[in-house]
Amino acid sequence: MNKFDIAVIGGGMVGAAVALGFAKQGRQVVMVEGQAPQPYSAEQPMDIRVSAISHHSVQILTELGAWSAIEASRVCPYRRLETWEHPECRTRFHADELGLEQLGYIVENRLIQLGLWQQFEQYPNLTVICPDSLASMVIGDDVQITLASGAQISAQWVVGADGANSQVRQQAGIGITAWDYRQHCMLINVETEHEQQDITWQQFHPSGPRSFLPLCGKQGSLVWYDSPKRIKQLSAMSQAQLRDEVLAYFPQELGDIRVLQHGSFPLTRRHAQQYVKNRCILVGDSAHTINPLAGQGVNLGFKDVDALLAVTKGESLSSEVFACYQRKRHADNLLMQSGMDVFYKGFSNDVAPLKLLRNAALKIADKAGPLKQQVLKYALGL
């Protein structure tokens, strides 16, 4: 049986970053993933799944040696961010307010994953098993892992980076607190009338926000939150019908569009009650999922990676070290989840006094000066 210091189950963006980070520390690492990322070609259509990558996440990816490869493929910087309900009551953020070239980047998830995978060959102490997946674990002094293929490996510690329905979390006996937001989210890639844009914006409606994320060229990613019934109805439409619905229900800022592709998923909040138990450590969506309205999901995952690598650097892998990771990340992730829930619930109604109050708050926030800058710095991880 092959023995390793760390077994990372899941090789998506966060799992690949964890595996690479531990390999850079000189540890014997194995990463198990069901599907390798497709190689990049400039002719490929944009993926549906994209992320708004913060400055802090870029810094982590740079330290792991992956950002230059990601940047060389397809990234879209944005300098401005606006959010509003009533068009006259907006909160605006600009990179110039913090002396930055950009607030962040919109990047396809696959290209982030691919940029990390391209670094693996530099580390002979990093073994990749793909395609394969976790079947079962026997936890003792080490963890005996059986994969779906029948292969067996042994590791001192297992990192669960296998997503919201984490098998590692379940087999480690870690409970979760979870609820359904009773909303679905539709992602729509479009060709835009406008030239390349440097702004991402979001307008709130009682039925859910509608957002625009700029992509490379004259393209954008639209995010439409609504009831499961409404999203199902939209998903069944032809591209021409969906275009008509988008033009009717999105703000005029969007301009004319042509629908290229679309997909949808339900919104659910999950938070693991522990991040460390039975020689297993949770990161990313395995530990927490968050309402995506602020685009913080993968950035929180990269913060997990940063904290995990920081507490283990130069240290023996022990329960005490990983307990320090849990203390660093559990409270911060809970704070972000709760903050997004308050924001979400505050705008998901049509009660007139609340509507007046929240629009006034957005307008006041736009003039908040140093406080506004602090909020922006926190969101960017500065």
Q: Report all structural domains of the chain as residue ranges with CATH numbers, in order of start.
A: 3-74+109-178+269-345 (3.50.50.60)
- Give the tokens for residue 238: 């032809």
| Residues 6+ positions from 46 with CB-CB distance below 8 Å | 74, 108, 189, 215, 216, 219, 221, 260
Helices 297-312 and 319-347: crossing angle in degrees, nearest 10, is 160
Calculate what percentage of the chain has a pLDDT beyond 90: 70
**377 vs 306, higher pLDDT:** 306
Tell me the helices (H) and strands (E) count for the chain, helix number first.
Answer: 11, 19
**pLDDT of amino acid 84:** 84
**369 vs 77, higher pLDDT:** 77
**pLDDT of amino acid 206:** 83
Is the predicted pLDDT of residue 131 greater than 80, yes or no?
yes
Q: Which of the 8 DSSP states describes residue 34?
A: S
Span 15-57, pLDDT tens digits: 999 999 999 999 999 999 999 999 999 999 999 999 999 999 9
Q: Which of 96-100, 142-146, 225-229, 270-274 has the lowest mean pLDDT?
A: 96-100
Q: Which of 142-156, 194-208, 315-329, 348-362 has the lowest mean pLDDT?
A: 348-362
Q: Which of 180-194, 252-266, 307-321 has the lowest mean pLDDT?
A: 180-194
- Give the tokens for residue 242: 């969906």
Is the predicted pLDDT of residue 360 greater than 60, yes or no?
no
Residue 358: CB atoms within 10 A of its CB come to 19
What is the overall mean pLDDT for the chain? 89
Helix, strand and coil percent figures for the chain, each rounded to 5: 40, 30, 30
**pLDDT of amino acid 375:** 56
**pLDDT of amino acid 314:** 94
**What is the C-alpha to C-alpha distance for residues 76 and 192, in angstroms, rounded to an integer?**
15
Burial class (CB in 10 A: 0-12, 13-18, 19+), 59: middle
Span 205-216, pLDDT tens digits: 888 889 999 999
**What is the C-alpha to C-alpha distance for residues 188 and 220, in angstroms, rounded to an integer?**
8
**pLDDT of amino acid 208:** 86
Asked if residues 236 and 228 have their Cβ atoms less than 8 Å apart, the reply is no
pTM for the model stands at 0.90
